[in-house]
Structure 1
Amino acid sequence: MSRNKDPEQTIEKILSVSERLFIEKGFDKTSIQDIINELKMSKGAIYHHFKSKEEILDAITKKQFSYSNQMLKKLIKYTKANNGREKLVHILEATMSDEKAHYLDNVLIGQIKNPQFVVLGIKTGINGDAPILSEIIQEGIEDGSINTEFPNECAEIFMLLINIWINPILFNRNISETLSRLKFLQMLMKHLGVDIVSDKLIEQILKRHSYIMEDTNE
């Protein structure tokens, strides 16, 4: 394959092939040479855009986070509900059930103990997703379905706990221990006046984490 004259198209091809290889073979077992062979590009064409396999994964991760953020915005726009709290519950459940938003989970979970990856996840949750959730919490405050004086802070603490603290791989927890923490999160958010962690959401999270842990232990 000759170098494409459109840099963005070339980058997209590199990311697309790398995603597939990372999913099929695993990140650690995929080499730059594997990516080069699959693309039929020269090594120089790859290194012109990415200096390492880790840099490719970083770009894929940011792309995935961007998709999730855009999906969240669309759900906010089109989700119908009786009030802000109900709307947020539906959105969280829909987000967890969206396969495209989670199709890289098994690849990314291998990076969960990488400090840079964890920091990126924290910053994305706080700076990207939390402000969006805060807007819906504010809707709930206005219609009386949510009772808090701290919509921004509640959104941020929720994102921190659900993305980082709840993660069973990061803290080497089993499903029972994860369930206990999800129940605590459910109770905590309720006491904060933002009752948005439904039993269905807990079941969805546990199911997804079970799949990830099975793949990790193979």
Structure 2
Amino acid sequence: MARNKHPEQTVQQILNVAAQLFTDKGFEKTSIQDIIVALGMSKGAVYHHFRSKEEILDAVIEQQFNYSAQMLDHLITNTSTTPAREKLVQILEHVVSDPQAHSLDHVLRTQIKNPVFIVRGIQQAVRIDAPVIAAILREGITDGSIHSEDPEACAEVFMMLVNIWINPTLFGRNSSETKQRLYFLQRLMNMLGADIVSESLIERILDQHAAMGAYPILNEDDDRNEG
């Protein structure tokens, strides 16, 4: 495969191929040589842009974060549902169900206990996602559908809890324990004046975690206890 004349196209090729290999083989089992062979590029062409597969993974994750942020902005711009609470509920349910937003979940799951990854996830939630959510909460305060006294802090707490604390892989929780915490989050947001955690959102989050294999494998005794 000839190298693209435009560097950004070459970088995108590398990220696309690497993301597919990370998904198919797993990050740990994918070598930088695997990526080079799959691309059909020279080693120098790849190393010109990335020094290691870890650096490629960082770029893949960053691209995924950027997609999620752009999707959120697009949904807000194109969602006319009023009042604001209903709009936010609709947006959150769509985000959880969007296939592309979760296309790298299996890859990201391998990094979930990496402290650097966790910090990046928290920063993404607070600096990028939460301000968007807070803007809709402020709309809801204006139209009377939201009653939060501090929409910025409310949005930050919600994003950190749903992205980090709720994640069953990070804490080794089963589906029952995860569901219990989702209902706690629902009650907490209600107490904060933001009734945005719908029953549908809870079920979609549980289904999404199940689809990515986030729950620990249960033995027979655990299975009976959970049921």
The bucket for the TM-score relative to the shorter chain is: over 0.9
Instruction: State the 1:215 CA deviation.
Output: 8.9
Change in Cα spacing, 1:113 to 1:214, as seen in structure 2 (3 Å) is closer
Runs of 4+, deviation exceeding 3 Å: 214-217
TM-score between the two structures when normalised by the length of structure 1: 0.97
Q: Partner residue of 1:84?
A: 84
**Using the alignment, how far apart are the partners of 2:139 and 2:70 within structure 1?**
20
Instruction: State the 1:187 CA deviation.
Output: 0.3
Q: Which amino acid aligns with 1:135?
A: A
SS of the aligned residue for 1:170 comes to helix
Which aligned pairs between 1:100-119 and structure 2 lie closer than 5 A? 100-119=100-119
Q: Partner residue of 1:203?
A: 203
**Using the alignment, how far apart are the partners of 1:100 and 1:81 within structure 2?**
23
SS of the aligned residue for 2:48 comes to helix
Which aligned pairs between 1:13-28 and structure 2 lie closer than 5 A? 13-28=13-28
Instruction: State the 1:28 CA deviation.
Output: 1.0
**Using the alignment, how far apart are the partners of 1:215 and 1:144 within structure 2?**
38
**Using the alignment, how far apart are the partners of 2:16 and 2:148 within structure 1?**
43
**Using the alignment, how far apart are the partners of 1:186 and 1:40 within structure 2?**
49
SS of the aligned residue for 1:183 comes to helix
> Does residue 180 in structure 1 map to residue 180 in structure 2?
yes
**Using the alignment, how far apart are the partners of 1:116 and 1:214 within structure 2?**
20
SS of the aligned residue for 2:212 comes to helix
Instruction: State the 1:116 CA deviation.
Output: 0.5
Instruction: State the 1:216 CA deviation.
Output: 7.7
Q: Which runs of 5+ in 2 are unaligned?
A: 218-227
Instruction: State the 1:43 CA deviation.
Output: 1.0
> Does residue 193 in structure 1 map to residue 198 in structure 2?
no
Identity between Structure 1 and Structure 2 (%): 59
Instruction: State the 1:14 CA deviation.
Output: 0.4
Q: Which amino acid aligns with 2:89?
A: V
Q: Which runs of 5+ in 1 are unaligned?
A: none
Residue 173 of structure 2 contacts residue 215 of structure 2 at CA under 8 Å; is this kept in 1?
no
Residue 186 of structure 2 contacts residue 198 of structure 2 at CA under 8 Å; is this kept in 1?
yes
> Does residue 133 in structure 1 map to residue 133 in structure 2?
yes
Q: Which amino acid aligns with 2:142?
A: E
> Does residue 57 in structure 1 map to residue 57 in structure 2?
yes
**Cα shift readout 1:82-136 (whole Å, capped 9, x = no counterpart):** 2011110000001111001111001111000000111111001100000000000
**Cα shift readout 1:141-172 (whole Å, capped 9, x = no counterpart):** 00000001100000000000000000000001
**Aligned CA-pair RMSD:** 1.2
Q: Which amino acid aligns with 2:42?
A: S
Q: Partner residue of 1:95?
A: 95
**Using the alignment, how far apart are the partners of 2:32 and 2:176 within structure 1?**
39
Change in Cα spacing, 1:164 to 1:97, as seen in structure 2 (3 Å) is same
Instruction: State the 1:212 CA deviation.
Output: 1.8
Q: Which amino acid aligns with 2:85?
A: R
Which aligned pairs between 1:132-171 and structure 2 lie closer than 5 A? 132-171=132-171
Instruction: State the 1:44 CA deviation.
Output: 1.2
Residue 106 of structure 1 contacts residue 215 of structure 1 at CA under 8 Å; is this kept in 2?
no
SS of the aligned residue for 1:146 comes to coil
**Cα shift readout 1:37-76 (whole Å, capped 9, x = no counterpart):** 1111111111110011011010000000100000000110
Q: Partner residue of 1:122?
A: 122
TM-score between the two structures when normalised by the length of structure 2: 0.93
Q: Which amino acid aligns with 2:39?
A: L
Q: Partner residue of 2:3?
A: 3
